[in-house]
Amino acid sequence: MKKISFVFVLMMAVCMLFTACGGKNGDDTEAAQPTEAPQISEDLGNELDSFSDEVIDADLTCTITLGNWPPDTAAASELALFEGYKATMEKQYPNVTLVPDYYSYSLSNYVPMAKGGTAPSIFQPPFTDPQLLISQNLVGDVTDALKEIGVLDKFSPSYIEMLADDNGRIYGLPRDGYVLGMHINVALFREAGLVDENGLPIYPKSLQELAEYGQIIREKTDKAGLVFPASETYGGWLFTNIAWNFGCVGESALEYQDENGRWICNFTSPECIAAMEYMRDLRWKYDILNADTTTTDWAGAHSELGTGEAAMNFAADDSVDQPTSNKGLALEDFALIPFPEGPAGRYALAGGTCYMFSPDITADQGRALMAYLKILGKLPFLDDDIVAGMRSDYAAKKDRGAPVLPAISAWNDDEYNKTKRAIIDEYCNVDMRLYNDFFDSISEGTITLKAEEPVFAQQLYRELTAVIQRMITREGADVVKALTSAQESFQEYLDDEINN
């Protein structure tokens, strides 16, 4: 008994010791308390110093919790950047208390927090979720705060559609937009001989070329031509892009509303069947896919490309830091190209990340949050602080070795967009010849941008992912049968959720 008591007391002592040593920083749910001044470049230091210290509103009194605060393990430049924003806000609005929070949004963790009143005042969901959150009353209305600060009329209409309810009340702001294209590992293209006389990659312009080039890469380098994350909902998400290029738009769309307003699932159109057959061929005819396709997720796909295990990845301009600064692919070995054209056109998904707000924010908190976003340079204003904010942002990107690229603006404001582009050009750290075709395809309109499928996109992706998994794991799988089964299942879901 004595021995047991001794061991018990010893264990308690050790646990208490670790608890004491751990402090608050050990807990993700606690407010972030960075302890040391991070080491940053002179360039970034100068930009941070250039924020105005003048008091703007001493009467505004409230507390706001800032989700997505960078973790202590983040790059020094990023930590310094956010500390700089916080310090500026505290000087300009001395009675606004800022509480940094490491919170990173996911639908599953957000709902209980919103219902329990512990959600951060501001957080960043992807554009797939705002309508769901708005319909469930889980986010705060910032229409009045936006009107007060004067940016309501500068919203790009397509973004308003995504961030407002049926009455036109706004619940979020675009953080950045993205367009899906392809990430290229130029080193593997070079090894396969797919480069021109200037050393630039000869990349696939069409889905057919993608299959053929992938095959050449497989033969010459023994690496995967294409990494395709076909797990959970990712496979279906990417597949919708392929399907659009095979003609699954308009009357042949994957889902549409009939004349009675009923939502119809349409996976068995000839276009969708052809797109799925193409997916099957990528595995069984051309054999260009990575090995564990069905378990690869978004991060895994970036990792495969960044570490040279695959040559191409369907990915967007907002994730160019993933294979490069995160996985070590040299900037000269990385390129971003437009989404390849299909037999029925050239489409690519346009989406992005937005800022949304906790459901219980007050009018004062709304004002303070807009002021904070203004300092971050996320609102279409052009004063010294905004320009300093933009410069700091791009200096930080450059510091950590991520490509500094032109941004796809969510604001209809020419002057703002031009100034932003000029700053980006100043900090640009890449050979733009590796990116120009991508950005030109958007600005010249040679590619048609599309939003995600309109209703229950996640469920639709899940159904399609299951079909893709069947196609790429069973050689003799019946495309029509699998798509028919998925269609029945998703139609049942639509009938349950929206048609009845």
Partner 1 sequence: MNRITRHFRGKGMKMQDLRSWLIMLPGLILMTFFVWEPLLESIRMSLYKTENVELVEFVGLKNFISVAGKTNFTQALVNTFSYTFWSLVIGFLLPIILAMLIGETSRGKGLFRTAAYLPNMLPGLAVIILWSAFFSGGKTGVLNIILSHFGVSAQTYLTKANLVIPIIITIATWKGAGATALIYMAGMAGVNSELYDAAAIDGANVWQRVRHVLVPAIKKLTWTMLILQIISVFQIMYEPMVLTKGGPDNASLSLMQLMWQYAFGGSMDYGKASAVAVIVTAILLVMTAVYSYFNRKESDWD
Interaction site with partner 1 (CB under 8 A): 106-108, 111-112, 114-115, 128, 132, 136-138, 222, 224, 230-233, 290-295, 297, 309, 456-459, 462, 465-467, 469-470, 472-474, 485, 489, 492, 496-497
- Residue reference for tokens 């919170």: 103
Q: Which is nearer to partner 1, 149 or 187 (CB)?
A: 187
The C-alpha atoms of residue 201 and residue 188 are separated, in whole angstroms, by: 10
* Closest approach of partner 1 to the CB of residue 85, in Å: 31
Q: How far is the CB of 236 from partner 1 (least distance, A)?
A: 11
Nearer to partner 1, 22 or 150 (CB): 22
Nearer to partner 1, 250 or 476 (CB): 476
State which residue, 110 or 213, has the beta carbon closest to partner 1. 110
Report how far residue 425's alpha carbon sits from residue 420's, in angstroms, rounded to the nearest whole number.
9
Closer to partner 1 by CB, 66 or 276: give it: 276
Q: 66: part of which helix (H) or strand (E)?
A: strand 62-66
CB of 67 to partner 1, least distance (A): 18
User: How far is it, in rounded angstroms, from Cα 448 to Cα 172?
Assistant: 25
Full DSSP string of 358-399: -TT--HHHHHHHHHHHHHHT-SS--SHHHHHHHHHHHHHHHH
Find, among 492, 474, 456, the residue nearest to 276 by Cα: 474
User: What whole-number distance in Å separates Cα of residue 346 and Cα of residue 391?
Assistant: 34
**Smallest separation (angstroms) from partner 1 to the CB of 80:** 32
Taking the complex as a whole, the smallest distance from the CB of residue 294 to partner 1 amounts, in Å, to: 4
Would you say 112 or 270 has its CB closer to partner 1?
Answer: 112
* Minimum distance of partner 1 from residue 267's CB (angstroms): 14
Q: Which residues of 62-83 are buried (b: 16+ CB within 10 A; e: fewer)?
A: bebbbbbbbeeebbbbbbbbbb
CB of 440 to partner 1, least distance (A): 34
Identify whether the C-beta of residue 244 lies closer than 8 Å to the C-beta of residue 345: yes
Q: CB 167 → partner 1: shortest distance, Å? A: 18
Least Å distance, CB 108 to partner 1, is 3
Query: DSSP secondary-structure letter at 291?
Result: T
Least distance (Å) from partner 1 to the CB of residue 131? Answer: 12
CB nearer to partner 1: pick between 111 and 344: 111
Q: 180-216 as b/e, with b when 16 or more CB fall inside 10 Å?
A: bbbbbbbbbbebbebeeeeebbebbeebeebbebbbb
- CA atoms of 290 and 303, how far apart (whole Å): 12
Query: Least distance to partner 1 from the beta carbon of 14, Å?
Result: 15
Q: Tell the smallest beta-carbon distance from residue 461 to partner 1 (Å).
A: 8
CA distance linking residue 310 with residue 187, whole number of Å? 10
CA atoms within 13 A on the CB side of 87: 14
CA pair distance 434, 429, nearest whole angstrom: 12
Torsion angle in degrees (nearest 10) through CA of 86, 404, 162, 360:
-10
Check if the beta carbon of residue 406 is closer than 8 Å to that of residue 439: yes
Which helix (H) or strand (E) covers residue 12, if one does? helix 2-22
Rounded to the nearest whole angstrom, what is the least distance from the CB of residue 73 to partner 1 in the complex? 18
Is the Cβ of residue 98 or residue 224 nearer to partner 1 in the bound state?
Answer: 224
Comparing CB distances to partner 1, the nearer of 272 and 388 is 272
CB-CB contact of 312 with 305 (8 Å): yes
Q: Which is nearer to partner 1, 253 or 467 (CB)?
A: 467
Residues 6+ apart with CB under 8 A from 390: 377, 419, 420, 423
User: DSSP letters along 209-229, please?
Assistant: HHHHHHHHHHHHHSSEEEE--
Question: How far apart are the C-alpha atoms of 294 and 304, rounded to whole Å?
Answer: 14
